[in-house]
Amino acid sequence: MSTTVGTKDEGLAAILEGHEGGGRRKRRTLWLAIAGLALLLLAGVCAARSGRGSSAARFRTEEATRGDLVVKVTATGKLQPLNKVDVGSEVSGLVESVFVDDNDYVKKGQVLARLDISKLQDSVVNGRATLTSAEAVVLQAKATRQESEANLARLRQVAELSGGKVPSKTELDTAEATLARAIANQAVADAAVRQCRATLSSAETNLSKASIRSPIDGVVLSRSVEPGQTVAASFQVATLFTLAEDLRQMELEVDVAEADVGQVREGQLATFSVDAYSNRKYEARIRRVSYGSQTTSGVVTYKAVLTVSNDDLTLRPGMTATAEITTIEHKDILLVPNAAVRFTPPAAAAPPQQGGIVSRLLPRPPRFATRAKSSNGKNGKTGTGEVYVLKDGTPAAVPVTIGPSNGRLTEVTSEELSAGTPVITEAVGGAVS
């Protein structure tokens, strides 16, 4: 009986002890939650104070200056002679001799090469013989015509003396027809003579063209023929020599980008360099800007032709050149950095947030003022806009007229802005209170 009572007391004690342990765990969890909430509140207060202390922004400034503005457009291309001529052969034959080589200077009419003329001479001899035969036929036709005219005149005289009795009308008609045929035969013979003369002239011309001559005064750029080579004249004449008229005057053909072609005009000055003389600048002037476009790998460009002086003959056809075309050149103007034209100040501090503790603790993205900026004059365009200066530590807008830009500085005009005035280029953060 006592054993049963002891067992019940021990079970009751165990239950009471378990309840006390569970209560302690719950209280510990509650205290941890209260401590975490307190830490969050403390962090929110610190963040709010930090935000109030950093509300005053700092700004970086640069002074407006007076100076010169030069805007340039870059384009690449190749050098070419002003007049380049490809010389070929109009007749077929075997090349007998070649008299010039690359870089040789030649005069107009000078023989560059000569073909074998054996067959061409035979054609001339044959043409002359044919012409002689045709001329003999003409003499025969003339004699026949004279005979027919004399016979017809005799018959008419007899008819007149006989009072029309003799000869008969048939005989007179036959004599008149014979004379007409003689006249026609003479005309045919005359035409054959003219044809033979034309054939002979062509043969003589081909004989003269067997000597390939220079059409211009210039220099031989390339030679692509050797003695013993056969030349076959066809619809497309093979190029035997390439000549340049005068390498002291050349042209540079460059490809101007679609975005820049509106700035490029005839008469503008340019400088360019070539890889062979990378430290030297050559001068050029735009002679023509093509209206027709060309597309390469999806990029649209327009060809511009520049005239180049090459008195020292350092430039050679085919050299790749990089040109800088001066499109705008303004002297003694007011300039500000491009960043000043693009700068927009941040908005004023946002009003206190409404709501509960959690909404106040959650961060919100910063708010900035929005303002439509006029584009700067990168492409030579102008417009109105604003730059900002500091007045009592606060950005103040100054209206300006925006001119062209060279990519770093922009021309501006304003009655309220002068050289030496600091203009804001960017905001660099808040000041610590």
The CATH number that applies at residue 219 is: 2.40.50.100
234, 250: one domain: no
Q: Please compute the mean of the pLDDT values over residues 141-151 and round it to a whole number.
A: 95
pLDDT value for 429: 66
Last residue of a domain, one of 308, 330, 352: 330
Q: Do 320 and 275 share a domain, yes or no?
A: yes
For residues 347 and 119, which has the higher predicted lDDT (pLDDT)? 119
Report helix, strand or coil for 296: strand
The angle at the Cα of 196, spanning 192 to 200, to the nearest 5 degrees, equals 170
CA distance 401 to 399: 7
Region 365-393: what's the mean pLDDT? 63
Residue range 9-37: mean pLDDT, rounded: 61
- Tell me which of 209, 226, 254 is where a domain ends: 209
pLDDT at 376: 47
> Residues for the chain: how many in total?
433
- My answer on whether 423 and 297 are in the same domain is no
47 and 191 part of one domain: no
Same domain, 169 and 295: no
Whether 256 and 299 have beta carbons less than 8 Å apart is answered as no
Query: Does pLDDT of 52 surpass 70?
Result: no
pLDDT average, residue stretch 48-75: 78
Pair 9, 33 in one domain:
yes
Q: Are residues 342 and 205 in the same domain?
A: no
Given a cut of 90, is residue 270 above it in pLDDT? Answer: yes
Residue 70, pLDDT score: 92
* Together in a domain, 373 and 425: yes
Confidence band, pLDDT 50/70/90 cuts, at residue 61: very high
**DSSP conformational letter for 217:** S
Asked whether residue 23 carries a pLDDT value surpassing 90, the answer given is no
Rounded Cα gap, residues 289 and 265, in angstroms: 7
Mean pLDDT of all residues belonging to the chain: 84
Lowest mean pLDDT among 236-245, 361-370, 421-430: 361-370
3-state secondary structure of 250: strand
What percent of the chain shows pLDDT beyond 90? 67
Give yes or no for residue 378 having a pLDDT over 60.
Answer: no
Highest mean pLDDT among 28-42, 128-142, 347-361, 402-416: 128-142
Residues 6+ apart with CB under 8 A from 100: 106, 110, 112, 113, 220, 223, 241
Q: Which residue has the higher pLDDT, 45 or 252?
A: 252
Q: For position 43, what pLDDT does the model report?
A: 66
Query: Based on the domain organization, do 238 and 279 belong to the same domain?
Result: no
CA 430 to chain centre: 49
Considering the domain architecture, whether residues 185 and 310 belong to the same structural domain is answered as no
Output the six-digit token pair for 57: 């922004």
Same domain? 351 vs 426: yes
**Kind of pairing, strands 65-81 and 230-231?**
unpaired
Q: Where are the beta strands (DSSP E) in 64-179?
A: 65-81, 84-88, 93-98, 105-106, 111-115
Range of the structural domain that residue 258 is part of: 73-82+246-330
Is pLDDT of 349 > 60? no
Contact 231, 97 (CB under 8 A): no
Residue 374 has pLDDT above 70, yes or no: no
pLDDT band at 39 (very low <50, low <70, confident <90, very high): confident
Average pLDDT over residues 246-253: 93
Closest to 48 (Cα-Cα) out of 346, 359, 347: 359
Residue 44 has pLDDT above 70, yes or no: no
Q: What is the dihedral of CA 196, 200, 202, 208, to 10 degrees?
A: -170
Single out the residue in 294, 313, 330 at which a domain terminates: 330
What pLDDT is stored for residue 367 in this prediction?
Answer: 44
| Same-domain check for residues 340 and 317 | no
**pLDDT band per the 50, 70, 90 thresholds, residue 303:** very high
Residue 47: its pLDDT value, please?
A: 54
Element containing residue 413 per DSSP (H, E): strand 409-413
Q: Mean of the pLDDT values across residues 166-182?
A: 93
Total domains in the chain come to 5
Residue 12 has pLDDT above 60, yes or no: no
Q: Give the model's confidence band at 287: pLDDT under 50 very low, under 70 low, under 90 confident, else very high.
A: very high
How many Cβ atoms sit within 10 Å of the Cβ of residue 186? 20
